[in-house]
A = this chain, B = another copy of it.
């Protein structure tokens, strides 16, 4: 009976995509569900997975909006 929630920013990770694609979502659902089957013997049919896409403006990291923080990190040496 596991419930897995995956929070990610609403952005693409491959050229030409602006958000997680349906195919990628299906891969995440399959991967997590089978992980719980393998590690904890939880049947697939009693595992829920919820993917929560968050606007980048709504995600904070390093005290800044995420995109702003990434820019600053990219400028830092090493």
Contact = CB atoms under 8 A, between A and B. Distances in A.
Contacts of A60: 4, 25, 28-30, 32-33, 47-51
Interface in A30-56: 30-42, 44-54
Copies, count: 6
Contacts of A69: 45
The bracket for how many chain A residues form the interface is 35 or more
A78 interface: yes
A63 interface: yes
A45 to B, nearest CB: 5
Contact of A35 (B13, B32, B37): B32
20 contacts: A1-B48, A4-B5, A4-B32, A13-B41, A29-B60, A29-B65, A30-B60, A32-B60, A33-B63, A44-B63, A45-B62, A47-B63, A48-B48, A48-B59, A48-B60, A49-B59, A49-B60, A50-B58, A51-B60, A78-B78
